[in-house]
């Protein structure tokens, strides 16, 4: 393996200030699954709302396959402009109360995963990072009318146990975040990952409520005050659009109603712990966590109901194409530029999504 330390450049104006030690690190990478464009929305919201300083820049030329994920450039009549090179960067940010933290974000590397994770581990140790929290999202057979669920994992039981609404045992496609988590655990670094569950019929479009849930989980785990107001307002607009489309189609309405019934059946008697529960048992906005999908998948009627809702070989939890009813429920105003299951603007900064 090539020297991991040559994979990034530090910004001396920030790193020599001496106040980076002991911070918590949040991370999210675009390009893997990213149902609902959750990581992109979180990234943009943090950069737009919070003060930030560049700490380190990774060498994109060594990490990205340009022919697979081509960057965007504008052609204006007779000249080229606005080339958007891919970025993967580490920033220092300040939350709503002025508390500093680190944020690692940008494209998921196509190449040299082990070298990249070794480089990140070096930075984590150099800055004595106290906790790493990372996030991504997947499509799930859950209704948009119920609280957003999550699956958590890592080596901090106090931040993981009792939080997940789905705890499967399965072989899944790995992301660089998974490899990074494994290497951090091996090195004895505290780490927790969050997988946000996005209604599968909305996975292709931007779904702000899932991004809000992601920010709340990250903020609760890292004890940070992260901005959500603008995403909440965008979520209300999206909800109105979805409601109109659902009401306009009896078939779509039936799909959503079935998902709601299934959700309610298996959450009725389920009590889950939330990181958002306050000491006096008062609940924060996002306490009602998750759909008990695992219970449904184990139920006798699962196969029959699944066949009625999804075509053959496209059962809940897959990332392939969905039926016509699913495709109809997509807020027109919030459709992303990619496909939601591998789209990537290649940029780690806001405004490029």
Q: What is the mean pLDDT of each run of 10 residues along the chain (353 residues)?
A: 96 90 97 91 97 97 94 95 95 96 97 98 97 96 93 96 86 94 98 96 94 97 96 95 92 91 74 48 38 44 45 39 43 42 42 35
Contact indicator for 130, 190 with CB cutoff of 8 Å? yes
Closest Cα to residue 87, out of 313, 345, 326?
345
Contacts of 275 (CB under 8 A, 6+ apart): 159, 163, 217, 220, 221
Residue the block writes with tokens 């082990």: 114
Nearest-angstrom CA–CA distance, 86 and 64: 8
> Residue 250 — φ and ψ, nearest 5°?
-65, -35
153-174 exposure pattern, b = at least 16 Cβ within 10 A, e = fewer:
bbebeebbeebbbbeeeeeeee
Q: Does any domain span residue 1?
A: no
pLDDT score, position 33? 79
Strand duo 150-154 + 191-199: pairing: antiparallel
The answer as to whether 310 is a domain residue is yes
- What's the CA gap between 118 and 297, in Å, rounded? 38
Q: 282 is in which domain, residue-wise?
A: 6-353
pTM of the predicted model as reported, rounded to 2 decimal places: 0.77
- Count of CB atoms situated within 10 Å of the CB of 309: 19
- Domain-located, residue 86: yes
Q: Is residue 324 part of a domain?
A: yes
**Number of structural domains in the chain:** 1
Give every CB contact of residue 4 below 8 A, 6+ residues apart in sequence: 115, 116, 118, 119, 122
Give the pLDDT of residue 325.
Answer: 38
> For residues 226 and 219, is the Cβ–Cβ distance under 8 A?
yes
Is 320 a domain residue? Answer: yes
Q: Where does 18-143 show beta strands of DSSP type E?
A: 24-30, 52-58, 72-76, 79-84, 88-94, 100-107, 131-140
Measured CA distances, 146 to 39, 90, 111, 130, 259 (Å): 21, 34, 38, 34, 10
Give a yes or no: residue 295 inside a domain: yes
- pLDDT number for residue 275: 52
Residue among 262, 264, 284, 260 at smallest CA distance from 273: 284
CATH label of the domain that carries residue 10: 3.40.50.10900
User: Which residues lie closer than 8 Å to 307 by C-beta, 6 or more apart?
Assistant: none
Asked if residue 215 is part of any domain, the answer here is: yes
């Amino acid at each position: 393996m090539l020297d991991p330390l040559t994979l990034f450049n530090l910004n001396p104006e920030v790193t020599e200030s001496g106040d980076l030690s002991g911070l918590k690190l949040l991370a999210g990478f675009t390009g893997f699954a990213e149902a609902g464009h959750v990581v992109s929305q979180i990234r943009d919201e943090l950069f737009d709302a919070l003060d930030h300083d560049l700490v380190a820049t990774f060498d994109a030329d060594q990490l990205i396959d340009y022919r697979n994920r081509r960057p965007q450039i504008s052609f204006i009549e007779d000249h080229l402009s606005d080339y958007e090179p891919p970025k993967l960067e580490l920033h220092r940010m300040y939350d709503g109360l002025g508390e500093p933290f680190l944020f690692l974000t940008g494209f998921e590397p196509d190449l040299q995963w082990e070298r990249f994770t070794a480089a990140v581990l070096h930075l984590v140790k150099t800055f004595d990072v106290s906790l790493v929290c990372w996030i991504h999202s997947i499509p799930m057979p859950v209704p948009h009318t119920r609280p957003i669920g999550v699956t958590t994992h890592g080596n901090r039981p106090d931040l993981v146990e009792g939080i997940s609404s789905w705890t499967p045992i399965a072989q899944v496609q790995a992301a660089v975040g998974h490899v990074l988590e494994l290497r951090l655990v091996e090195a004895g670094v505290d780490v927790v990952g969050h997988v946000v569950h996005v209604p599968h019929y909305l996975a292709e479009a931007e779904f702000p409520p899932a991004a809000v849930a992601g920010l709340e989980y990250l903020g609760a785990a890292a004890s940070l005050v992260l901005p959500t107001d603008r995403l909440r307002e965008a979520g209300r607009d999206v909800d109105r659009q979805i409601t109109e489309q659902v009401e306009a189609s009896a078939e779509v309405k039936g799909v959503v109603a079935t998902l709601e019934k299934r959700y309610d059946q298996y959450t009725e008697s389920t009590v889950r712990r939330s990181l958002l529960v306050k000491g006096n048992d008062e609940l924060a906005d996002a306490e009602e966590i998750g759909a008990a999908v695992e219970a449904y998948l184990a139920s006798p009627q699962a196969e029959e109901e699944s066949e009625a809702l999804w075509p053959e070989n496209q059962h809940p939890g897959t990332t392939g194409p969905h039926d016509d009813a699913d495709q109809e429920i997509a807020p027109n105003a919030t459709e992303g530029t990619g496909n939601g299951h591998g789209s990537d603007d290649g940029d780690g900064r806001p405004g490029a999504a």
